[in-house]
Amino acid sequence: MSADTANPSGLSAKINNKRKRQAEESSKQTEAAAGNADGPSNKKKKNGKTKPKKGGKDKKDNPQPDALEKEQRDTKQTETKGGIDEAIGKMDGRLLADHFMQKAKRHNKELTAVELSDLSVPESSFLDTSSFDSPRQLEKLPAFLKAFSPKGSDLSKPSEEKGTPHTLVVSPSGLRAADAVRALRTFQTKESPIGKLFAKHIKLEEAKKFLERSRIAIGGGTPARISDLMDAGSLKLGELQRIVIDGSYVDQKQRGIFDMKETHLPLLKLLTRPEFRERYGVEEKRIQILVF
C-alpha cells in the first residue's frame, strides 16, 4: 500500500514540475514577444524624427534671401536720404504754390475760403530750383545759394545799413536753424556774422540788440522769431532779395516744415506779410522764395 501511495505522489510531482517549466517557458516567450514589439517601435520613432533644415533653423525662423535683401535695400535707402524729402526739390513754382495751399487747407480746416486766400503764396514768388541735382542736405546749402544767385555776386558782402540782410533762411525749429547757421558760416566774415534769428537760447531783446549793432548779409531763423524782429523794426527788409525755406528737411518722425500746423501756419503768415507780398513778381526790389 505504501508503494501504491508512493507512485501517485511521484507522478503528481512530475506533472507539477512539467507545468512549472511550461509556465516559465511561456513567460519567457511573452517577454521576448514584448521586446520585439518595443524594438521596431523605438526604431521607427528614432527614424521618424524630423530632421532640421540646413542651417539648423526652420523656414519660419530663417527669412528668405529675397526678404533680407529687400530689408537691406530699404534701410540703405533711408540712410541715403538722411532725413530729406526728395520730392520737394523736384517741384516748380506752380506745384509749390499748390503744395502750400493744400497743406494750409489740411491744417486749418476751420478757416473760411477768404481767410485761406489771404494765406496763399503766389506762384510768381517762387524761383524754380528743381535743376539743383545735389542732395538737399545742409552741407550743400552754400552751393545751393551760389547756384541761384546772380553771377559774380558776393554773398558774404553785407549792406551798409545794420540789420539789413539780403538773404533769410527759414527753418522749422530753433535747433534746425542753429544747424543751418553753422552750415552758412562759409559766408561769415569779421564784419558780417551770420544772423541768429531764432529763440533757441537767444532772448528776443538779445536778438534785437544784435541786429541794431551788426551788419549782416545772411540770417537764419524761424518764422515766428523773424516776424517778431520785423515787428520790432530791428530786422530791416530794404535790401532783401531772397527767402530760402528749409523745406526738404524732415525730422525723425518724417515731418517737415509743411507737415505740422505749428510750423506751417507761422511760415504762411510770414510769407504773406504785406512787406513781402507787394514785392513778389515785380521788377524793382523783387523778393523770391527758394525752397531748399
Q: Look at residue 50 and tell me whether its pLDDT is greater than 60.
A: no
How many Å apart are CA 160 and CA 214, to the nearest integer?
10
Q: Which of 262, 271, 282, 283 is nearest to 168 (CA)?
A: 271
- Who contacts 29 (Cβ-Cβ below 8 Å, separation ≥6)? none
Q: Is pLDDT at 79 greater than 50 in this prediction?
A: no
**Could you give the angle at which helices 223-231 and 204-213 cross, rounded to 10 degrees?**
60
User: pLDDT, tens digit, for every residue of 203-217?
Assistant: 999 999 999 999 999
pLDDT band at 165 (very low <50, low <70, confident <90, very high): very high
Which cell goes with 223? 518764422
The proportion of the chain whose per-residue pLDDT surpasses 70, expressed as a percent, equals 72
Res 18: pLDDT: 58
Report which of residues 31 and 153 the model is more confident about.
Answer: 153
Handedness of CA 52, 54, 56, 59 (dihedral sign): negative
Q: Is the pLDDT of residue 230 over 90?
A: yes
pLDDT for the residue numbered 20: 63
Residues ≥6 apart with Cβ < 8 Å to 128: 92, 93
Most confident of 5-19, 27-41, 98-112: 98-112
CB neighbourhood size of 198 (10 A): 26
3-state secondary structure of 5: helix
- The predicted model gives 71-96 an average pLDDT of 66
Q: Are strands 195-197 and 242-245 parallel, antiparallel or unpaired?
A: unpaired
Least confident stretch, 71-75, 185-189, 271-275:
71-75
Q: 256-267: per-residue pLDDT in tens?
A: 999 988 999 999
Please determine, for residue 63, whether its predicted confidence score (pLDDT) is greater than 90: no
d(CA 136, CA 81): 9
pLDDT of residue 3: 43
Cβ atoms within 10 Å, residue 106: 12
Contact between residue 130 and residue 92 where contact means Cβ atoms under 8 Å apart: yes
Q: How far apart are CA 220 and CA 180, in angstroms?
A: 7
Q: Give residue 200's pLDDT.
A: 80
Domains in the chain, ordered, with CATH?
85-148+159-291 (3.40.50)
Residue type, 9: S
